[in-house]
Amino acid sequence: MSNLISIVLPVHNELLNLKFLIESWNSELKKIPSIEYEFVIVEDGSTDGTKELIIKLEKNFPIINLSSEKKRGYSQAVLDGIKASNGDYILCTDSDNQIKVNSLIENIKNLPGDDIFLFGSRTPRNDPIHRIIYSKMFKALHDLLFRSNLSDPSCPFALGRKETFNKLPEEFLLKMREGFWWGFVAASRKMKIKFDEVEIEHFKRSEGDAGYQLNQMPGIIFRNTIGLFKIKFSKF
């Protein structure tokens, strides 16, 4: 009996990346006879033609299209995608083409068991220097509070069973906003969900906006610090 895996992709203004990404995933997933798959694309208020592209892609690929007129944010997009997934397993990742798809396929062939997440570690990480410095600094606080021992807790890659995803506290993850994956790992650790880590090939973004700019970092650091302390000292 085949396992159904849902690939959850939050998308905002990825017109130049999305078609290639879906084609790459589809090409690799077709090689694994033991699974069936669907793409859960959560379109988050795009203004560059991404909405129209997804409608075209639906004709050729197994896509669940969740589209929003307004930008609701990354955390909300990921959580909406998890809820809409039909799969026995869920894989959450980004839609910016920075992760090499075929480097992940061996992990999908060997799906994790119950109550365990498989997280990614970007090797090497090819992001703007201010984001790398922020991550290294914030990781020190994250390790102090949660002792996850992951090398890259903010990596946008998580694979696990749907029921394991459903255990996580949505209200706290929503508050993390830009720090969704920091909160995801923190909540998993607090709930004593087991996890493992695999290296994934990471590339510089070739198209589109690279995300948060340097002048946004102080606010992001403040919000994420408050979010982590709330996860640490709240009961759930």
**What ranges do the domains of the chain cover?**
3-233
- In the prediction, which pLDDT does 212 show? 63
Confirm or reject CATH 3.90.550.10 for domain 3-233, answering yes or no. yes
Q: At what angle do helices 217-233 and 180-190 cross, to 10 degrees?
A: 10
* Residues with Cβ within 8 Å of residue 105, at least 6 apart in sequence: 28, 29, 31, 32
Give CA–CA dist 212/111, Å, rounded: 33
* Residues with Cβ within 8 Å of residue 198, at least 6 apart in sequence: 107, 118, 119, 120, 121
Instruction: Name the more confident of 120 and 211.
Output: 120
- In the prediction, which pLDDT does 24 show? 93
> What percent of the chain has pLDDT above 70?
97
Give CA–CA dist 89/61, Å, rounded: 18
**Above 90 in pLDDT, residue 49?**
yes
pLDDT tens string 102-136: 777 777 877 877 889 999 998 888 787 888 888 88
- In the prediction, which pLDDT does 60 show? 97
- In the prediction, which pLDDT does 211 show? 63
Reported confidence tier of residue 174, pLDDT bands at 50, 70, 90: confident
Q: In what helix (H) or strand (E) does residue 193 lie, and over which residues does it extend?
A: none
Provide mean pLDDT across the span 134-161.
91
**Above 90 in pLDDT, residue 57?**
yes
- DSSP E strand stretches across the chain: 3-11, 35-44, 63-68, 89-93, 116-122, 157-161, 194-200
* Residues with Cβ within 8 Å of residue 219, at least 6 apart in sequence: none
The number of C-alpha atoms within 13 Å of 154 and in the hemisphere containing its C-beta is: 20
**Above 80 in pLDDT, residue 213?**
no
**Above 70 in pLDDT, residue 86?**
yes
